[in-house]
Chain A
Amino acid sequence: MSDPVVVGPHPHVAHEVHHEELGFWRKYVFSTDHKVIGIQYAVTGLLFLLFGFSLMMLMRWQLAYPGAPLPLLGRLLGDTRMPGGTMLPEFYNELGAMHGTIMVFLGVVPLAVGGFGNFVLPLQIGAPDMAFPRINMMSYWCLFLGGVTMLGSFFVPGGAAQSGWTSYSPLADIAGTGQTIWLIGMIFLITSSLLGSINFITTTIQLRAKGLTFMRFPIFVWAQFVTSFLLLLAFPPLEAAGVMQLMDRVAGTSFFLPSGLVVSGQPLTNAGGGNPLLWQHLFWFLAHPEVYVLILPGLGIVAEIVANNTRKPLWGYRSIVYSLIFLGFMSFIVWAHHMFMTGMGTAMAAFFQTTTMIISIPSVVILTALILSLWGGSIRFNTPMLFAVGFLPMFGIGGLTGLPLGLNISDIPLHDTYYVIGHFHYVVAPGTIFAMMAGIYYWYPKATGRKMNELLGKIHFAGSLVCMNVIFMPMFFIGLAGVSRRLFDGGAAYAFAQPVAHLNVVSSWGAWILALFQLPFIFNFFWSIKNGEPVGENPWQATTIEWSAPSPPPHGNFVGAPEAYRGPYEYSVPGAAKDFMPQFEA
Chain B
Amino acid sequence: MGIPYTVTTRRDTGLNNGKIGIWLFLASEVMLFGALFASYILIRTGAQTWPRGDTVLNVPLATVNTIVLISSSVTMVMAWASLMRHRFETFRIYMGITILCGLAFLVIKFFEYSHHFEEGLYPRSDNFHAIYFTLTGLHGLHVIFGMAVNAWLWGPGSKLWKTNPVWFTNRVENSGLFWHFVDLVWIFLFPTLYLL
Q: Do A and B share a complex?
A: yes
Query: Chain A: residues with CB nearer than 8 A to chain B?
Result: 1, 3-5, 7-8, 11-12, 14-15, 17-18, 127-133, 135, 194, 197-199, 201-202, 205-207, 232-237, 239-241, 243-244, 247, 251-255, 270-271, 273-275, 278, 281-282, 285, 555-556
Q: A131-B21, A247-B134 are in contact. Are A194 and B28 (CB under 8 A)?
A: yes
Residue of B nearest to A194 (CB): B28
What distance in Å separates the Cβ of B177 from its nearest Cβ neighbour in chain A? 9
Residues of A contacting B47 in the complex (Cβ-Cβ under 8 angstroms) = 273
- Contact call B125/A3, Cβ cutoff below 8 A: no
Considering the chains assembled together, what is the distance between the CA atoms of A235 and B25 in angstroms? 12
Residues of A contacting B169 in the complex (Cβ-Cβ under 8 angstroms) = 4
B166 in complex: contacting residue of A5, A17, A240, CB < 8 Å: A5
Q: A11-B5, A128-B3, A198-B21 are in contact. Are A253 and B124 (CB under 8 A)?
A: yes
> For chain B, what secondary structure do more than half of its interface residues adopt (helix, strand, loop), or is it mixed?
helix
- Contact call A129/B1, Cβ cutoff below 8 A: yes
- Contact call B8/A232, Cβ cutoff below 8 A: no
Further contacts, 16 of them, CB under 8 A, given A5-B8, A273-B127: A3-B9, A17-B1, A198-B24, A232-B27, A233-B28, A239-B35, A240-B32, A240-B36, A243-B36, A247-B123, A251-B130, A252-B124, A253-B124, A270-B124, A555-B1, A556-B1
A206 in complex: contacting residue of B5, B42, B125, B133, CB < 8 Å: B5
Segment among B11-19, B56-64, B90-98, B183-191 that sits at the interface with chain A: B11-19
Q: A247-B134, A282-B39 are in contact. Are A235 and B127 (CB under 8 A)?
A: no
Residues of A contacting B134 in the complex (Cβ-Cβ under 8 angstroms) = 243-244, 247, 253
Residues of chain B in range 1-57 having any CB-CB distance to chain A below 8 Å: 1-5, 7-11, 13-17, 19-21, 24-25, 27-29, 31-36, 39, 42-43, 46-48
- Contact call B20/A202, Cβ cutoff below 8 A: yes
The yes or no answer to B148 lying at the interface (CB within 8 A) is: no
- Contact call B20/A201, Cβ cutoff below 8 A: yes
B10 in complex: contacting residue of A199, A206, A234, CB < 8 Å: A206
Q: A206-B15, A244-B134, A255-B130 are in contact. Are A236 and B1 (CB under 8 A)?
A: no
- Contact call A271/B11, Cβ cutoff below 8 A: no
What distance in Å separates the Cβ of A528 from its nearest Cβ neighbour in chain B? 29
Considering the chains assembled together, what is the distance between the CA atoms of A131 and B13 in angstroms? 15
- Contact call B35/A15, Cβ cutoff below 8 A: no
What distance in Å separates the Cβ of A27 from its nearest Cβ neighbour in chain B? 13
Q: A129-B3, A198-B21, A275-B46 are in contact. Are A237 and B123 (CB under 8 A)?
A: no
Residues of A contacting B166 in the complex (Cβ-Cβ under 8 angstroms) = 4-5
Residue of B nearest to A237 (CB): B35
- Contact call B123/A198, Cβ cutoff below 8 A: no
The yes or no answer to B84 lying at the interface (CB within 8 A) is: yes
- Contact call B46/A201, Cβ cutoff below 8 A: no
What distance in Å separates the Cβ of A26 from its nearest Cβ neighbour in chain B? 13
A18 in complex: contacting residue of B1, B35, B42, B80, CB < 8 Å: B1
What distance in Å separates the Cβ of A212 from its nearest Cβ neighbour in chain B? 11
Q: What are 6 pairs between A and B in contact, CB < 8 Å?
A: A131-B3, A206-B17, A240-B35, A247-B133, A274-B43, A275-B43
**Binary per-residue interface labels of chain B (143-157) against chain A in the complex, 1 for a CB within 8 Å, 0 otherwise:** 000000000000000
- Contact call B8/A202, Cβ cutoff below 8 A: no
The yes or no answer to B117 lying at the interface (CB within 8 A) is: no
Residues of A contacting B122 in the complex (Cβ-Cβ under 8 angstroms) = 251-252
Residue of B nearest to A200 (CB): B24
Interface residues on B, range: 35 or more
- Contact call A202/B17, Cβ cutoff below 8 A: yes
- Contact call A237/B124, Cβ cutoff below 8 A: no
The yes or no answer to B195 lying at the interface (CB within 8 A) is: no
- Contact call B43/A253, Cβ cutoff below 8 A: no
What distance in Å separates the Cβ of B141 from its nearest Cβ neighbour in chain A? 10
Which 3 residue pairs are nearest across A and B when measured between Cβ atoms? A252-B124, A237-B35, A253-B130
B8 in complex: contacting residue of A7, A251, A274, CB < 8 Å: A7
Considering the chains assembled together, what is the distance between the CA atoms of A241 and B7 in angstroms? 37
The winner among B4, B29, B123 for most chain A CB atoms within 10 A is: B4
Considering the chains assembled together, what is the distance between the CA atoms of A234 and B35 in angstroms? 10
Residue of B nearest to A20 (CB): B1
- Contact call B127/A274, Cβ cutoff below 8 A: yes
What distance in Å separates the Cβ of B125 from its nearest Cβ neighbour in chain A? 6
The yes or no answer to B138 lying at the interface (CB within 8 A) is: yes
What distance in Å separates the Cβ of A521 from its nearest Cβ neighbour in chain B? 34
What distance in Å separates the Cβ of A215 from its nearest Cβ neighbour in chain B? 14
Residues of A contacting B24 in the complex (Cβ-Cβ under 8 angstroms) = 197-198, 201-202, 232
Residue of A nearest to B31 (CB): A236
Considering the chains assembled together, what is the distance between the CA atoms of A3 and B167 in angstroms? 11
Considering the chains assembled together, what is the distance between the CA atoms of A422 and B80 in angstroms? 57
What distance in Å separates the Cβ of A332 from its nearest Cβ neighbour in chain B? 10
Considering the chains assembled together, what is the distance between the CA atoms of A186 and B43 in angstroms? 24
What distance in Å separates the Cβ of A431 from its nearest Cβ neighbour in chain B? 28
Considering the chains assembled together, what is the distance between the CA atoms of A412 and B14 in angstroms? 52
Residue of A nearest to B46 (CB): A275
The yes or no answer to B89 lying at the interface (CB within 8 A) is: no
Considering the chains assembled together, what is the distance between the CA atoms of A252 and B124 in angstroms? 5
Residues of B contacting A3 in the complex (Cβ-Cβ under 8 angstroms) = 9, 14, 16, 19, 170
Considering the chains assembled together, what is the distance between the CA atoms of A46 and B16 in angstroms? 35
